């Protein structure tokens, strides 16, 4: 069994570099790929595994072993044709999770149609934030408030269901502060500690980022 998730980042523009660097700095195994030699040479200074390759070629995808990667992030929104080919080839190779960067809603529809599991708009989600969400595995969303503190939305764990916040004592166990309970579109900041938690709800908490691993 693999000890950690593996990632590949296709396209090393500003967004792709931000994703790859954040993942690498958190100890993840990352293959960074771009088709320009200059970009690869520059990225090699801070990314351990950089490959110059054409990810629109099925043989290249096979040779790189992309089918064994857990998550591929396609960061080539400026070239829709290349993005479509990369997403398609990754899904055909058996990659379970393919995330694609897009430039507009039309690209979003096309990329989802050809198999992308998630499409992100760079103006709405920075590369660093995307990487943090990937690293947080199991969290619904994660926003950095500072270098050390994050606000996170988390699902109600199976063992929490049917219990209230007093019984769970989550602050003592995990070291975080619950700021709201969310159910559907309703966000309740006036928390009743005796409210019983259910599967349809989620918690919004503020926590030390380094301690969030306890929740994984």
**Residue ranges of domains in the chain:** 6-135, 139-215
DSSP alpha helix (H) spans, the chain: 14-25, 37-43, 58-63, 80-93, 105-113, 127-135, 165-168, 170-174
Q: What is the pLDDT, as a whole number, of residue 1?
A: 42
Q: What percent of the chain has pLDDT over 70?
A: 84
Q: Which of 46, 99, 102 is nearest to 70 (CA)?
A: 99
Q: Which of 12-16, 156-160, 171-175, 182-186 has the highest mean pLDDT?
A: 12-16
User: Is 119 in a helix, a strand, or coil?
Assistant: strand
Confidence at 146, pLDDT banded by 50, 70, 90: low
Instruction: List pLDDT tens digits, range 120-129.
Output: 887 545 666 6
Q: Helix count (H) and strand count (E) of the chain?
A: 8, 11
Classify domain 139-215 by CATH number: 3.30.70.1450
Q: What is the pLDDT, as a whole number, of residue 133?
A: 62
Q: What is the pLDDT, as a whole number, of residue 141?
A: 55
148: its two tokens: 């050390």
Instruction: List pLDDT tens digits, range 17-71.
Output: 999 998 998 888 999 999 999 999 999 999 999 999 999 999 999 999 999 999 9
Classify domain 6-135 by CATH number: 3.40.50.720
Same fold flag, 6-135 and 139-215:
no
């Amino acid at each position: 069994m693999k000890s950690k998730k593996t990632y590949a980042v296709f396209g090393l523009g500003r967004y792709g570099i931000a994703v790859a660097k954040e993942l690498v700095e958190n100890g993840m195994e990352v293959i960074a790929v771009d088709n320009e030699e200059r970009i690869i040479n520059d990225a090699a200074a801070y990314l351990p595994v950089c490959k110059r390759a054409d990810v629109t070629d099925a043989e290249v995808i096979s040779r790189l072993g992309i089918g064994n990667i857990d998550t591929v992030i396609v960061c080539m929104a400026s070239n829709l044709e290349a993005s479509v080919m990369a997403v398609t080839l990754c899904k055909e190779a058996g990659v379970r999770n393919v995330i694609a960067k897009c430039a507009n809603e039309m690209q979003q529809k096309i990329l989802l149609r050809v198999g992308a599991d998630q499409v992100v708009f760079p103006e709405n989600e920075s590369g660093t934030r995307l990487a943090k969400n990937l690293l947080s595995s199991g969290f619904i969303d994660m926003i950095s408030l500072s270098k050390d503190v994050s606000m996170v939305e988390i699902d109600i764990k199976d063992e929490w269901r049917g219990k209230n916040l007093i019984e769970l004592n989550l602050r003592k166990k995990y070291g975080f502060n619950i700021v709201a309970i969310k159910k559907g579109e309703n966000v309740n900041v006036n928390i009743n500690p005796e409210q019983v938690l259910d599967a349809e709800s989620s918690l919004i908490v503020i926590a030390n980022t380094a301690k969030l691993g306890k929740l994984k």
